[in-house]
Amino acid sequence: MLKSARKRVLTAAVALGAALVVGVGGASMAGADQHGAGQATPKHDSSIENLGLVKNEIKAYYGDDGDHQPSADSAYARDAKRVESQLKHWLTARSHEHGKKALVLDVDDTVLSNYNYEASHDFGYDPVTNAACVEAKCFPAIFGMPALVTWASTHGYAVFYVTGRPHDQQQATLDNLADQGFPTPAGIFTKVKTAPYPPYLTCSPNCSTIEYKSGTRAHIESLGYTIVANAGDQYSDLKGGHAQRTFKMPNPMYYLP
Ligand SMILES: [Mg+2]
């Protein structure tokens, strides 16, 4: 699915409290994803967070002092580093296990920050300006992520990116990652929009995000890898199994089902 075709919903401030949930397997993630599909229709405006105030809260959370950049001492940075610490602890404990081990990562707001783009576009999404940003390799690394991914790739983990970015953005994405200090991955999977589709994605061309991502992880497993950890900023990055453990990066800016 094209990112432009996805429903992007600015989540309520309450999503900040859900940003740090770290789940194991699909069941725990399903319980944590309470801010997406199936929301009850509000009966009064007082039960809805004011959108303008939520945007201001998000800016404060990221430590935006007006330059539309996250601050290294922000609450967001602390949350991200806490998840990274948990991820590294998990990977460390399993780094000496035998067999082909993999770390699967989403890209946007998991290893590369979209905050600057989002804040510069009033937390909206425009496929033309977003594609221009991708081509310009404008996305900075999330605090601590280049070091963590470098550590993983030098301690026995094959690193795979599974991103919803379209296939025609694959090279620009790899270039952006390299520019930001990430090591060359074992592989990257992007969304194929036209035939021929990957044969392992039988849902093509109408795969949901969960089908695309979990089906791709199953394909990685079919190559002989054990996916020790899967990290993403959306619950749709994490549902569907095919990972020993999932790690939820913070992102209160949008919701992708
Ligand atoms: Mg993402």
The pLDDT score that the predictor gives to residue 19 is: 35
- For residue 17, is pLDDT > 50? no
Q: What is the pLDDT of residues 183-238, one digit of tens each?
A: 999 999 999 999 999 999 999 999 999 999 999 999 999 999 999 999 999 999 99
The pLDDT score that the predictor gives to residue 36 is: 59
Length of the chain, please? 257
Name the percent of the chain lying above pLDDT 70: 85
Q: Separation of 109 CA from ligand 1 center, angstroms?
A: 5
Q: Separation of 154 CA from ligand 1 center, angstroms?
A: 24
**Which residues are near ligand 1, the ion (C-beta closer than 5 Å)?**
106, 108-109, 233
Q: Separation of 44 CA from ligand 1 center, angstroms?
A: 32
Q: Separation of 43 CA from ligand 1 center, angstroms?
A: 31
* DSSP-derived 3-state class of residue 222: helix
Q: Separation of 78 CA from ligand 1 center, angstroms?
A: 18
Burial class (CB in 10 A: 0-12, 13-18, 19+), 153: middle
Under a CB-based contact definition with an 8 Å cutoff, are residues 234 and 106 in contact? yes
Q: Separation of 155 CA from ligand 1 center, angstroms?
A: 25
Mean pLDDT within 89-103? 96
- For residue 1, is pLDDT > 70? no
Q: Separation of 42 CA from ligand 1 center, angstroms?
A: 28
Residue 2: which pLDDT band, with cuts at 50, 70 and 90?
Answer: very low
The dihedral sign for the CA sequence 127, 7, 253, 65: positive
Q: Separation of 232 CA from ligand 1 center, angstroms?
A: 6
Cα separation values, 140 from 10, 16, 225, Å: 21, 22, 29
Q: What is the pLDDT of residues 67-87, one digit of tens each?
A: 999 999 999 999 999 999 999
When the pLDDT of each residue in the chain is averaged and rounded to a whole number, the result is 88
Q: What is the pLDDT of residues 106-152, one digit of tens each?
A: 999 999 999 999 999 999 999 999 999 999 999 999 999 999 999 99
Q: Separation of 250 CA from ligand 1 center, angstroms?
A: 10
Q: Separation of 3 CA from ligand 1 center, angstroms?
A: 10
Structural domains in the chain, sorted by start: 3-33+53-248 (3.40.50.1000)
Q: Separation of 111 CA from ligand 1 center, angstroms?
A: 8
Under a CB-based contact definition with an 8 Å cutoff, are residues 227 and 221 in contact? yes
Residue 33: which pLDDT band, with cuts at 50, 70 and 90?
Answer: low
Q: Separation of 233 CA from ligand 1 center, angstroms?
A: 5
Q: Separation of 46 CA from ligand 1 center, angstroms?
A: 31
Tell me the whole-structure pTM to 2 decimals.
0.86
For the chain, report the end-to-end CA distance as a whole number of angstroms.
Answer: 11
Structure tokens of 242? 């095919």
Mean pLDDT within 240-254? 98
Q: Separation of 79 CA from ligand 1 center, angstroms?
A: 16
The pLDDT score that the predictor gives to residue 190 is: 97
